[in-house]
Structure 1
Amino acid sequence: MTVRTTTTAAMTVVALSMALAGPAVAAPAGRGDGHEATRRALQAAVADGVPGVTAAVQDGRRGWSATAGVGDLETGKPRSPQDRYRVASITKTFVATVLLQLEAEGRLSLDDTVEEWLPGVVRGNGHDGSRITLRQLLNHTSGIYDYLTDPTFQQTYMAAEGFLEHRYDQKEPEYFIAIAMTHEPHFPPGTSWRYSNTNYALAGRVIEKATGNSYGDEIRHRIIDPLHLTATSVPGTRVTLPRPSSRAYSKLARTATGPTYDVTELNPRLAYGSGEMISSSADLNRFYTSLLRGRLLPPEQLKEMKTTVSSRGTNGYGLGLVERKLSCGVHVWGHDGGIHGSNSDAVTTEDGRHALAFNFNGDWSGDSDAVVEAEFCGR
């Protein structure tokens, strides 16, 4: 149910299309603040059909935020810099961080096999958990089939009729893992790279097996609370967004036309460790800045996290962390993600000094890469 990611080749919930037009851009910062290119990119996203955008930048001690378009197509209410939104696959960085913390504590090794922690779970049609390591889950070299690409799953949870009927379904991760096991692996473990949300459904369960607590509780007491991420949550089965927030919109189809649906309410537990979380742009900047500055992981584990494999284009995928080389030569680290009605991106420079996070509240349009390029390359 999660994740579109332009950087990591995950699924696209729906295809591109044009949205209803929103009102003029609102940006709290004045002109000449050094973010003119970013502001234009946000405006371009709205012109391209995104209902609304909210963004925040932290550059050293200087913060900046801006919004464009609307948060509610019915009332015309604008988006807020404080908006909470579904961050989808950005959840993966939080999950990977917890597993690396557990490794640093000696409670597991990333070279442990999945079978050791979840016996009998990864089996069938060529899948073999005894040949797959936890590290391969985190960097998507496991070859495990991505349940999001299953045709029945797509019809049930992504197409309009299915989503509207099943948006509040109560399913545990094992249900989706079992779907993956009905297919053959994408490739033998360790021989290639392919994004698979099943990997992080398994990773969440490993955290729970190793700690005796829910993966969400571990994220809360290890990351959210210490960093005072007051807008960040692992919502479980809560179907609504906390306030302040905007509505989320989707076409629920692979077309650029057709009706626009309000998809704000859904059961995020269906996404689990692959994309359940909610956050804000300011909180995401604080999280990635703290991570890259070594405040969450010892040097050895942070090095492991930043050890990448080739994924797509010039991007490298580490352990829940993506390295992106921009057109101007700048390297940024982070993750992006998409879920029904929400596309988000969060990146920071390696020194943690310059961070950007933003969200589109429509999942069919807008160029997130253009926003990143604008902020770090000024174009």
Structure 2
Amino acid sequence: MNLATRPPRSRLRAACLLTAAAVLVGATTAAAAPNDPSHRPPSRLQRDADAIHAAGAIGVTVHYSAPATIRTARSGEAELGTGRPPPRNGYYRIGSTTKTFVATVTLQLVAEGRLRLDEPIEPWLPGLVRGNGNDGRRITLRQLLQHTSGIPNYTALPAAVPGLYSARGYRENRFRHYRPEELVAAALTLPSRFEPGTSWAYSNTNYLLVGMIIERATGRSWGTEVHDRILRPLGLHDTRVPGDDPYLPRPHAQAQHTFTGDDRPTDTTVLNHTVADAAGAMYGTPSDIDRFFTALLSGRLLGPAELAEMQRVHPIPDEPGRGYGLGLESTELSCGGRYWQHGGDVLGFSSENGVTADGRRAVLVVKNGVDENDEAGGARVDAATRTLIDHALCAPDSSRP
């Protein structure tokens, strides 16, 4: 989930923890036997994972897939100071990657004629979006999905979500249940950011409203629709919409979040996901999320017309080469073309992914550790993550990323 008002390259309110030294995993020595697999030089994928750890991530897990190929890489620690590596396919909070699931369900409903992208949301949510220049009579479903509605972001308000702003707030609110209506109401105390359709600004509030519209249109929760339309058909048994259950299944790395002004991280692994709702409440595993994106991009979940709508992007301000479609982002590749993705960050977990346009090659990077006091370190982690994704998707031999 993007718990920030800035663009989605960093989705929480800060960047990842800068560690004191780089750790190079699997380095060879001059005396190593050349034919001994245990002494072969690390793959580029492993070197790039190590570079993310060296840039400041506490722990890094990478999952890569291509036809007849699956590769993984790990670097750093599952929990700071333990030396224990992150699990190869551990559970993590996927945050704003949830938005792609929700957008996919929405476009399936569009294909069924139950929703329309370019009609106002007012009939579905009568009188809900009003005040301070926000008006559901002038905002369409497409604008919610693409963040062009102008509706402000509820996560910009510490009073609304205190658990996201301090260690004390987290401890006091980590089990708290939130209703999407109360979070929307908080957002609407702020003025509209712009006239609908005239600009772009990332707002989690948009997807709270999309989740509510799905429920109005189907009579069932957005989570139930995601389960029945995506998780069950694809066999994504390790991906869940957990509701009020604040615990992650094992194995998982420890979410570690250093709040502004703190000098050490807080263990934020336990969290009631209703604080994110349809904007970012799900958890999963790298292999499951990889399978979802490859199915989506290869046309298994949406028809050609709906997938084309999802991929009609609006440029992301101040991020050349990047665009935002309907719950799906795009980034240019150094080898030509672009890849598709939607990462997510929420209290101590950060993830980014990339899938080629044909859905045949995918890579996902999960990091545990966020430090709100070190934006420069976070920028280095982000850059190293983008480099890994680009290298993996551009590798001449898809079986050797």
Instruction: Report the TM-score, using the length of structure 2 for normalisation.
Output: 0.87
Q: 2:119 aligns with which of 94, 112, 116?
A: 112
Structure-1 separation of matches of 2:66 and 2:7: 23
Matched, 1:276 2:281: yes
Structure-2 separation of matches of 1:336 and 1:290: 17
Offset at residue 154 of structure 1 (A): 6.2
Query: Which amino acid is the alignment partner of residue 108 of structure 1?
Result: L
Contact 1:4–1:338 under 8 Å retained in 2? no
C-alpha change, 1:188 and 1:172, in structure 2 (3 Å) is same
Query: Which amino acid is the alignment partner of residue 78 of structure 2?
Result: G
- The match for 1:305 is 310
5+ long unaligned stretches in structure 1: none
Contact 2:4–2:156 under 8 Å retained in 1? no
Residues paired across the two proteins, number: 375
C-alpha change, 1:20 and 1:233, in structure 2 (3 Å) is farther
Matched, 1:262 2:267: yes
CA offsets per residue over residues 93-124 of structure 1, 9 Å max, x none?
A: 00000000011111111123111111111101
User: Percent identity over the alignment?
Assistant: 42
Offset at residue 147 of structure 1 (A): 1.1
- The match for 1:122 is 129
Contact 1:51–1:71 under 8 Å retained in 2? yes
- The match for 1:294 is 299
C-alpha change, 1:33 and 1:103, in structure 2 (3 Å) is farther
Q: 2:386 aligns with which of 353, 356, 369?
A: 369
Alignment of 1:57-76 (within 5 A): 57-73=64-80, 75-76=82-83
C-alpha change, 1:53 and 1:305, in structure 2 (3 Å) is same
Which 10-residue stretch deviates more, 186-195 or 240-249?
A: 240-249
Query: Whose Rg is larger?
Result: 2
- The match for 1:316 is 323
Which 10-residue stretch deviates more, 151-160 or 162-171?
A: 151-160
5+ long unaligned stretches in structure 2: 28-36, 372-377, 396-400
Offset at residue 88 of structure 1 (A): 0.4
Query: Which amino acid is the alignment partner of residue 183 of structure 2?
Result: F
Q: CA RMSD in A?
A: 2.5
- The match for 1:144 is 151
Offset at residue 236 of structure 1 (A): 0.9
Query: Which amino acid is the alignment partner of residue 260 of structure 1?
Result: P
Q: 1:89 aligns with which of 96, 104, 112?
A: 96
C-alpha change, 1:183 and 1:225, in structure 2 (3 Å) is same
Structure-2 separation of matches of 1:74 and 1:100: 45
Structure-2 separation of matches of 1:297 and 1:130: 28
Structure-2 separation of matches of 1:305 and 1:73: 39
Offset at residue 40 of structure 1 (A): 1.5
Contact 1:23–1:76 under 8 Å retained in 2? no
C-alpha change, 1:35 and 1:131, in structure 2 (3 Å) is farther
Matched, 1:213 2:220: yes
Instruction: Report the TM-score, using the length of structure 1 for normalisation.
Output: 0.92
Structure-2 separation of matches of 1:93 and 1:263: 24
- The match for 2:142 is 135
Contact 2:145–2:206 under 8 Å retained in 1? yes
Contact 1:324–1:333 under 8 Å retained in 2? yes
Contact 2:246–2:273 under 8 Å retained in 1? yes
